[in-house]
Copies of this chain bind each other. A is one copy, B any other.
């Protein structure tokens, strides 16, 4: 009998199921299903009332319905008893208030039309005022958790979003038993067991293994009414690959899965890509490269420095500190320029990429700053904006396009350098995600960083990572694995391609990087108010206030 692990990868728009042969790593079947209601930004289903700006909600039932469909599809190809373990990854910071029986607050009639009773997606940014206050007071009090996040708490995270419910819908807050992350809620739906996964608790929940959660005093200083907010949070931490329980009778009946099939604690989707890319060691930086980029580094050492969004012990793979960084726009920048500024009829990427590839490093005479969606790595400043420097009347669109690619590579190099300077050396890059099929981009990254850039074997490294979690949760006796190392060795394949750095290109890019660094420090550090001011003027004009 074959032994498969099932990965369930809950993204922003859809869920994907991937069944992987534990012995060979073969991806035997997969299915994908988009959420019926998608991302809700205009108005709640069944109402006409427009949602405020910055709202991004989801319907919790969508997750259940969609994953039922993809599991059923997978079970058309393999048998339920062949599935030895299941892992779940979920977009981070996708948070919902529920009753202690798991019922989402939006299912309670009186709260149905209140957006604060719904799932708040990671990109719901309406809790910025709460985040600002948290940051201010945490710094005043010199809270010890700050150093795990380079000193910045995002509006996307658990505490700001919880506080937002209290501020905007105190009646819902009052009635809510648990405020839970989507991944943990799904695991509860599957197993009937509540737990908090270490990944989301660490990266987005202000928890760390050394000192636990923030103090009640801190919450009280924020707002006396917020004092017991932590009592609405799950606190029994489960690590990636740790078994939470087995598939419940009801979930088995709904999906066709076998009751009792082990389910791992959930993890964040990007972080799931690390095991999915075959990484369980120090040295590489793992990059999920798509519209934006997420970078993760595993290390045995804990070092506090500027340049990560979070560091969590055992948060990605037990046995390592996992450092996470991000670039808020990568593929989005290329698409913005190629689609919005150039001829829209043909394939804008194909043509401009071909032309850009004919240019030599340094030939554009341009450098750019890749902050078209702010900076969420070393500078952590959403008010920063993009810049293109060196334009002449001879500058061609393909030169601008290439300089934009180079700018994101320089942004990555800033992150790498921050790790290396802190004593956490990075020796190679490993990539998965939507941009892996673009050789120009990957070669530029290799040349800019001077490091080999390896393309992960799996096209679905994130879902594969979830499956690996499932195989570890199953454990050796059920045909799974005793450790991540064994699971990864068995279930992942070597990189399919390596881009090696060109020495001469590196020499040129070292010079351009100095210019990038100059602009980076000038507009990102010494004069960060310049770009902010431009944004403020724009917003004031649009709001009719100037």
A532-546: contact bitstring with B at CB < 8 Å (1 yes, 0 no)? 011101101110001
How far is the CB of A531 from the nearest CB of chain B, in Å? 6
Q: Is A503 positioned at the interface, with any CB of B under 8 Å from its CB?
A: no
Question: Which residues of A336-392 are within 8 A (CB) of B?
Answer: 336, 340-344, 360-367, 372-373, 385-392
Q: Within the assembled complex, what's the spacing in Å between the Cα atoms of A389 and B386?
A: 6
In the complex, A333 has a CB within 8 A of chain B: yes
Given A535-B365, A541-B508, A372:B393 Cβ within 8 A: yes
A522 touches B (CB below 8 Å): yes
List of B residues within 8 angstroms of A225 by Cβ: none
Query: Which among A43-51, A227-235, A302-310, A511-519 touches the partner chain?
Result: A511-519
The interface centre, meaning the residue of A333, A372, A393, A522 with most chain B CB atoms within 10 A of its CB, is: A393
Q: Which of B344, B362, B396, B530 contacts A340 (CB 8 A)?
A: B396
Residues from chain B with a CB closer than 8 A to the CB of A400 are: 341
B538-A362 in contact (CB<8A): yes
Q: How far is the CA of A365 from the CA of B543 in the complex (A)?
A: 13
Q: 23 interchain pairs (CB within 8 A)?
A: A336-B395, A341-B341, A343-B344, A362-B538, A362-B541, A363-B538, A363-B541, A365-B537, A372-B391, A373-B393, A385-B389, A385-B392, A386-B395, A387-B391, A388-B388, A389-B531, A389-B534, A390-B531, A390-B534, A390-B535, A511-B537, A512-B537, A518-B530
For chain A, the bracket of interface size reads: 35 or more
- Within the complex, what minimum Cβ distance (angstroms) separates A420 from chain B? 25
Tell me if A259 is interfacial: C-beta within 8 Å of chain B.
no
Whether B530 and A508, one on each chain, are in contact in the complex, defined by CB atoms closer than 8 angstroms, is no
Tell whether, in the assembled complex, residue B531 and residue A397 are in contact, meaning their CB atoms are under 8 Å apart. Answer: no
Distance of A272 Cα from B541 Cα, bound (Å)? 42
A511–B538 touching, CB < 8 Å: no
> For window 91-107 of chain A, which residues contact chain B by CB distance below 8 Å?
none
Q: A366-B534, A512-B534 are in contact. List 4 more A-B contacts (CB 8 A).
A: A329-B393, A385-B389, A389-B523, A522-B522
**Given contacts A387-B391, A389-B385, A527 and B537 within 8 Å (CB-CB):** no
Q: Is the Cβ of B386 less than 8 Å from the Cβ of A391? A: yes
Chain B min CB distance to A331 (Å): 11
- Asked if B344 and A546 sit within 8 Å, CB to CB, the answer is no
The answer, among B386, B397, B541, for a CB contact under 8 Å with A341, is B397
Those 8 A-B pairs whose CB atoms lie nearest each other, nearest first: A386-B391, A365-B538, A390-B534, A362-B541, A362-B537, A363-B541, A385-B390, A336-B393
Task: Indicate whether A332 reaches chain B with its CB closer than 8 angstroms.
Answer: yes
Residues of B close to A533: CB separation below 8 A: 511, 515
Measured CB to CB, the nearest residue on chain B to A344 is B343
Distance of A400 Cα from B386 Cα, bound (Å): 12
User: Contacts of A538 on B, CB cut-off 8 Å?
Assistant: 362-365, 390
Taking a contact as CB atoms under 8 Å apart, the answer to whether B387 and A534 are in contact is no
A519 to B541, CA, bound (A): 22
Q: Is the CB of A518 within 8 A of B527?
A: yes
Tell me the smallest distance from the CB of A515 to a CB of chain B, in Å: 6
Instruction: Output the least CB separation between A188 and chain B (Å).
Output: 36
Across the interface, name the chain B residue whose C-beta is closest to A391: B386
Q: Please give, as numbers and ranges, the residues of chain B lying within 8 Å of A344 by CB-CB distance.
A: 343
